[in-house]
Structure 1
Amino acid sequence: MPDSADSTKVSDLPLDELVACHECDLLMRKPHLALGEKAQCARCGYELYAHRHNVIERSLALVIAALLLYVPANFLPIMQLNLLGQASQDTVWSGVVGLFDTGMQGIAVVVFLCSMGIPLLKLLCQLAVLLSIRWNIGRSYGLLIYRIYHHLKDWGMLEVYLMGVLVAIVKLVDMAELSLGLGLTCFVSLLLVQVLLEVIMSPHQIWQALSGGESHARA
């Protein structure tokens, strides 16, 4: 009976004061957080959202770093292979071109989109959203771009491509002379920066800033 009474009180609240857990769907009153605090689900303990320090500035720095790493990560050699006196250097882009030239155009397109196209588009969307908040311009466009970004999130698969590279290295290391290139370092760095960006760029604070909530200087 107490649960029923509590749920009735919650259901009477306006929507902007409610939050639902993404894991167990529990509907709760949205807590007001101070800087550095996190909100957790009362039932399953899932982190609902956090209020982090300097989200916009830190996220902008990470986006710019990721964009600077993008070109060397995709166009510098990931590894150099020496087999029977023949040497070849492999990059992410050369892998896409190689698949296309061998008649696997469909796979080449998928690899290009998941390893190069969509990751770049995600970074550009994040940059546009953060700049719209930082400069306080085009918030309505920022909302649209951020929605597009959320639809793209699951399609950028740098970690899957990296696993494929690591498997290839393990299989080839006993068959040929193999040396790792600077491109692999840049690729791993790009992946780590993007993971950190996902952690730092709090969706709750970004939505709040885009919708004209609290001052984005505190976001």
Structure 2
Amino acid sequence: MPDPVDTLKVSDLPLDDLLACHECDLLMRKPALAHGEKAQCPRCGYELYAHRYNVIERSLALVLAALLLYVPANFLPIMQLNLLGLTSEDTVWSGVVALFNTGMQGVAVVVFLCSMGIPLVKLLCQLAVLLSIRWNIGRNYGLLLYRIYHHLRDWGMLEVYLMGVLVAIVKLVDIASLTLGLGLVCFISLLMVQILLEVVMSPHQIWQALSGEDVHAGD
């Protein structure tokens, strides 16, 4: 664990050697980590950062998997609804179109951005950042794209959309015949891959790699 810093001695230490906990604001010395180790706040136990193995390769594999899942997750049927002899297949995209055609253009735009647009932009930013590190080109653009990605993190709400789908399934199951589609499996898989990507793609190592301190970021 990092060592807390005496407030009277802060001015004697370089800023690069200091670290503040995001949860309790404890100021401490930045520890040097070996591969596979992680730093935790000695006061609240919050994980400050970790030094993981093969961050770039593992993150690239997850980003590519997420991009492959993106199209089927959004355009394959999530469910098939049979009500009073009428059958309809619903996808994420068809939901956006239905909202737009029923006069709720504002809601349609929000749903599109949060469930399709922003998640795609986030994945493309992550891919560009990882490739800039892997190929050692365009680091300045990589820094810009990684900042954009961090600003967009809270706007991609796939989990909220999934909860809405699950609530709709629970409410409709008693009044109609429902068949779950491949699109739902792909959508859940996409969400799981993105969550795993958040864990694997260590921000500390990515920032280090983009600044040129550690080109391979844990390889």
Please tell me the TM-score bracket, short chain as reference.
over 0.9
The one-letter code sitting in structure 2 at the alignment partner of 1:109 is V
Contact 1:10–1:29 (Cα < 8 Å) also in 2 = no
**TM-score, normalised to structure 1's length?**
0.96
Q: Structure 1 residue 32 and structure 2 residue 27: aligned? A: no
> Counterpart of 1:63?
63
For these two proteins, the number of residue pairs brought into alignment is 217
Q: Structure 1 residue 159 and structure 2 residue 159: aligned? A: yes
Contact 2:205–2:218 (Cα < 8 Å) also in 1 = no
Give the unaligned 5+ runs of structure 1: none
The one-letter code sitting in structure 2 at the alignment partner of 1:156 is G
The one-letter code sitting in structure 1 at the alignment partner of 2:93 is W
The one-letter code sitting in structure 2 at the alignment partner of 1:85 is G
Contact 1:10–1:28 (Cα < 8 Å) also in 2 = no
> Counterpart of 2:72?
72
Instruction: Give the superposition deviation at 1:215.
Output: 3.4
Contact 2:19–2:29 (Cα < 8 Å) also in 1 = yes
Contact 2:76–2:183 (Cα < 8 Å) also in 1 = yes
> Counterpart of 1:169?
169
Please list the CA deviations of residues 124-168 of structure 1 after superposition, one character each: whole Å capped at 9, or x if unmatched. Answer: 000000000000000011000000000000000000000000000
> Counterpart of 1:215?
215
Look up the SS of the partner of 1:77 in the other structure: coil
> Counterpart of 1:47?
47
What percent identity do the matched residue pairs reach?
A: 84
Instruction: Give the superposition deviation at 1:42.
Output: 1.5
Q: CA RMSD, aligned part only?
A: 1.4
The one-letter code sitting in structure 1 at the alignment partner of 2:110 is V
Distance 1:54 1:112 in 2: 34
Distance 2:200 2:139 in 1: 20
| Within-5 A mapping of 1:124-135 | 124-135=124-135
Instruction: Give the superposition deviation at 1:216.
Output: 1.2
> Counterpart of 2:181?
181
Distance 1:150 1:13 in 2: 29
Look up the SS of the partner of 1:216 in the other structure: coil
Give the unaligned 5+ runs of structure 2: none
> Counterpart of 1:122?
122
Distance 1:144 1:119 in 2: 17
1:83 and 1:7, CA in 2 relative to 1: closer, same or farther beyond 3 A? same
Look up the SS of the partner of 1:53 in the other structure: coil
Please list the CA deviations of residues 57-81 of structure 1 after superposition, one character each: whole Å capped at 9, or x if unmatched. Answer: 0000000000000000000000000
Distance 1:205 1:76 in 2: 36
Instruction: Give the superposition deviation at 1:217.
Output: 5.5
